Amino acid sequence: MDNYDIAIAGLLHDLGKIFKRAGLPSHYTVQFLQENLKTALSEDIIYTLEKYDEPKDRWQEILKEADRLSSGMDSGDRKESINNEQYYNKRLYSIFDDINIGKEHRKGNYCYKIVPLNISEEIFPMKEEKASPEEIEKEYKNILKLMEEDIKKEIDTSTDSINKEAIYNKIYYILEKYTTFVPSTTSKYSDISLFDHLKTTSAIAVCLREFHNSNEKKDSQFILLEGDVSGIQNFIFQVTEGEETKRYVSKILRGRSTYINVLIDFLSKYFVKKLGLTISNILYCGGGKFQLLLPNTEDTKTTIEEIKVQIQKYLYEKYKTKLGLVISYIEVDEEGVKNYSDSLVKLQEHTLMEKNRKFIDIINIEKDNFFINKGTIKNLCKYCYANEAKTQLYKNEQINICDECYIHIHLGEFLVRNRYKYIAYDFDNSIEDADLLVKFGNMGQVAFYERLENNNIGFMIENINGAGNFGRLKFVGNTVPIKEGSVASFNDIGTMAEGEDKIAVLKMDIDNLGTIFSTGLEDRNKSISRVSTLSRMIDIFFCGYINKICEDLYQEYIQESKNNKVSLDNLYYINFSGGDDLAIIGPWDWTIELAIRIKEKLNYFVCLNPNITISAGVYFADSKMPIRISLQEGEKYLEKAKSSKTKDSICIFNEAFRWDEDIYNIKKVMKDGELYTKWLEENKLSRNLAFTIMVASKNINRKGNIDFDLIPLVAYLISRNVNDENVKKEMIDRLVTADIKDSEIEFVKYPLMIALMKTRKVKEV
């Protein structure tokens, strides 16, 4: 058996659980595989699958060991788990319900319906219900039916010339689609996805085969490797914004963000391809980095160094020091696989050390040339001021632009709203007829297609957000507003706001994520499959479901909007969303609503667990301001929110507010803002008075002490200038109180700023 044989065995070894839970006889699993995969599975694979629990040969021993390590169990525990299976009465519990980093949380026993992977409300956990065995059995039968249909559609085994690599990849993404919300076990603790157990078992099995074949005597059988791309933010935002370039800035920014994601995906797959491993060995890929599980052999280490230097040379020759790749790895023994969270902490520490010497290999190659300016470029590209420009045709227009920015414009323009449905990874540079090709030197290329009939090209095909008919389902935060067939400008986005034509930059990320992964999982199980489940569930929300949140709010905007001429097909421009963070640009008022909605949806996605929170920064900007500056300010606002005592906050107007706790939270800011907006629109409150009170609110504690003289002034102004008695009474009750602690005078500036911005175009009577 070669690597792909043992890997396929690992990927299929527990598939029988679905058949048993569907009420089908045990022998049906092998029958199903033989009927649907035919010549794709050798007799060795079938034999290994049939008897691995009671191993009689080397391959069955490897598979059993991989299964045990993936589960994080000792030998006896694994056997007991199998014997305690309760096939008919359990769904997959949410792993988020079990996270604990010190905040009290009463578990709600949240679980998932047994459904295919998608980005609808179906993927949200629900309170455990007393579902009948017949009902759950029906869900399993439906999953099997859909899986069988996809296997027949995706995999053609009628020929004898079987490409094991292609077969493996197709089995992988079919299982990912249909077993993500299936529990790996239905014993007491069932919060590990069956897919993550199958995937990690497959990865471990290949590593064990390679390690044993090397005949090397080591205590640690595995290598845990991390690749971290540095310089991402500077690379994305190195776009010159001016009169000549502003038409294409939004497209280039989107294109560069997409390019970085494609680069990281490509590099992770390139590593496992060159090492003769599988995509299951890619344990994580996102947020600017990837993590791989590899066999701990001298050949592996030699190949790692060769690939590392090859990639670093490519990036240096193309981008100099603007983009770099840091590679770090640690050796891991069986205990390190079973307690995978602890291994991740050690790996992160090692990566931090390597970042301090990230260009050392290039310096050793380039010597003094590394520090010498190679001369000037005569015709600099006006978009990046880094490369030589030339005249190129874009949409029937001749523009002066470098090849790199030209590719980024195309990526930014077309990888939105399902224009490109498929991505194909090609390490042989054999694809020639794609709609768009992004080349990575002699390492290979990535091809993009709007339409594709052949599902057997390249190393692997990915299907973007389910827009295509085949390929691995790849979630991408690709919501971008379109105007007249092109990506809208930031000026266009600003006009969608009520009142002032401003945009807002929203930056968000999960609080204490490192702590969640390192100590949030109970000590009973920090296994590789459990951590994998946690990572993927977070990724599903930020890469996939985020698109639905944006679309839902856009539909609400259409229903509520006072702007009758809705010229864009969405409000939000997702610059980046993946891992645990995001950067989104939208109309200033609806971007605050977006932040609140993301927080609310995330709360339900993580089972209302207070140990998992998120912070946000929302920075308002003129749409003509260079977007890189706006994004930098948004990052500062996010840091201010995260530096508050409890985190779990949102920063607007350079002030951090809790989401729903505290008296003066963001929901009160918005609710009061709506009230003052209503009064302004109905001319019950003048803009002049609202502005005067706002200034007084800003100044009342300017020197660190309350200026009590301002309070009677505010009372006088309200009494003198507000004619509506109800409005007058409510404003005085809010702002002029016997005890300053009960007054909203310090707080009122925030909702008033909201109201003044919303009513900028209101004409007073």
| H-type alpha helices, 516-626 | 528-539, 546-560, 588-605
* Mean pLDDT (whole number) for 496-500: 93
Distances, alpha carbon 10 to alpha carbons 7, 46, 197, 202, in Å: 5, 11, 9, 4
User: Which tokens go with 567?
Assistant: 């010229």
- Cα-based angle 743, 745, 749 (whole degrees, multiple of 5): 145
* 77-85 own/partner pairs: CB under 8 Å, 24+ apart: 81/185, 81/187, 82/53, 84/187, 84/188, 85/17, 85/20, 85/185, 85/186, 85/187
pLDDT of residue 764: 54
Contacts of 537 (CB under 8 A, 6+ apart): 94, 95, 96
What pLDDT is recorded for position 1?
A: 81
**Nearest of 279, 305, 311 to residue 292 by alpha carbon:** 279
Q: What angle do CA 361, 363, 368 make, to 5 degrees?
A: 160
Q: Are 119 and 548 in contact (CB under 8 A)?
A: yes
Instruction: Give 476 or 752, the one with higher predicted confidence.
Output: 752
What percent of the chain has pLDDT above 70? 93
Give the pLDDT score at 417.
56
Which amino acid is residue 539, in one-letter code?
A: D
The single-letter DSSP state of residue 554 is H
Q: Measured on CA atoms in the order 235, 618, 99, 91, is the torsion positive or negative?
A: negative
Rounded CA-CA distance 181/177 in Å is 9
For residue 453, give every residue at least 6 positions away whose Cβ sits within 8 Å of its Cβ, in sequence order, or none.
none
Residue 584 corresponds to which tokens in the numbers above?
């989104």
Q: pLDDT tens digits for 254-276?
A: 889 889 999 999 999 999 999 99
Q: d(Cα 51, Cα 64) in Å, to the nearest integer? A: 10
Cβ atoms of 7 and 206 closer than 8 Å:
yes
Question: Of 533, 502, 541, nearest to 517 (Cα)?
Answer: 533
**Helix, strand, coil percentages for the chain (3-state, nearest 5):** 50, 15, 35
- Strand 390-394 and strand 397-401: the pairing is antiparallel
Alpha-carbon distance of 113 to 583, in angstroms, equals: 31
C-alpha distances out from residue 452 to 164, 415, 423, Å: 22, 15, 10
d(CA 94, CA 759): 44
Q: What is the mean pLDDT of the chain?
A: 89
Rounded CA-CA distance 541/544 in Å is: 6
**Unique residue bearing structure tokens 């038409």:** 247
Return the axis-axis angle of helices 43-51 and 28-37, rounded to nearest 10°.
160
- The residue ranges of DSSP E strands in 121-263, in sequence order, are 126-127, 222-230
Reported as a single tens digit per residue, the pLDDT across 728-749 is 999 999 999 888 888 899 999 9
Quote the CA–CA distance of 456 and 156 in Å, as a whole number. 10
Between strands 460-464 and 502-510, the pairing is unpaired
Could you give the residue ranges of the DSSP H alpha helices within 155-193?
164-179
Residue with more model confidence, 333 or 319: 333
The pair of three-digit structure tokens given for residue 184, joined into one six-digit string: 């790996």
Cα 112 to Cα 128: distance, rounded to the nearest angstrom:
8
Distance of CA 706 to the CA centre of its chain: 45
Q: Would you give the DSSP letter of residue 649?
A: E
**617/635 Cα distance (integer angstroms):** 7
Quick one: pLDDT at residue 319? 86
Over the stretch 102-147, which tens digit does the pLDDT of each residue have?
998 888 889 999 999 999 999 999 988 777 888 889 999 999 999 9
Q: Judge whether 10 and 174 are in contact, CB under 8 Å.
A: no
pLDDT tens, residue by residue, 395-408 = 888 889 999 999 99
Q: Which of 68-77, 520-529, 583-592 has the lowest mean pLDDT?
A: 68-77
Q: What is the helix (H) or strand (E) element at residue 251, kind and residue range? A: helix 246-274
**Lookup result for tokens 């991390």:** 226
pLDDT reported for residue 160: 47
pLDDT given for residue 120 in this prediction:
93
Identify which of 4-8, 381-385, 521-525 has the greatest average pLDDT: 4-8
Q: Report the pLDDT averaged over residues 194-206.
A: 97
Residue 221 · residue 295 · CB < 8 Å: yes
| Pair 425, 401: CB distance under 8 Å | no
Q: Find tokens 């979630």 and name the residue.
A: 475
Q: What is the C-alpha to C-alpha distance for residues 680 and 669, in angstroms, rounded to an integer?
A: 16
Instruction: Count how many Cα atoms sit within 13 Å of the Cα of residue 323 in the half-sphere of its side chain.
Output: 24
Comparing 79-83, 157-161, 244-248, 413-417, the range with the smallest average pLDDT is 79-83
Q: What is the pLDDT of residues 646-697, one digit of tens each?
A: 899 999 999 999 999 888 999 999 999 999 999 999 999 999 999 999 999 9
Backbone dihedral angles phi then psi of residue 285, each to the nearest 5 degrees: -150, 115
Beta strand spans in 250-295 (E)? 282-286, 289-295
Q: 266, 462 in Cβ contact below 8 A?
A: no
Give phi and psi for 380, each to the nearest 5: -70, 140
Query: Does an H or E element contain 196, and which?
Result: helix 194-214
What residues have CB less than 8 Å from 43, skipping those under 6 apart?
none
Residue type, 636: K
Q: Using CA atoms, how far apart are residues 506 and 650, in angstroms rounded to an integer?
A: 10
Residue 542 has pLDDT above 70, yes or no: yes
Residue 268: which H helix or E strand, with range?
A: helix 246-274
Average pLDDT score over residue span 454-479? 88
Residue 299: count of CB within 10 angstroms of its CB: 14
Distances in Å between the alpha carbon of 659 and those of 104, 106, 715, 757? 18, 21, 30, 22
pLDDT at 423: 93
CA distance 212 to 220: 12
Q: Which one-letter amino acid corresponds to residue 180?
A: T
Length of the chain: 765
Tokens of 144: 């099997």
**Strands in 156-198 per DSSP E:** none
Q: Give me the pLDDT at residue 719, please.
A: 94
Q: CA–CA separation, 455 vs 453, rounded Å?
A: 6
Beta bridge partners of 183: 193
Comparing CA positions, the residue from 662, 492, 499, 650 lying closest to residue 585 is: 492
pLDDT-derived band at 565 (thresholds 50, 70, 90) equals: low
The Cα 459–Cα 425 span in angstroms is: 5
d(C-alpha 636, C-alpha 619), whole Å:
9
Residues paired with 289 in a beta bridge: 228, 286
Do the Cβ atoms of 608 and 108 come closer than 8 Å? Answer: yes
**Tokens at residue 244, please?**
């000549």
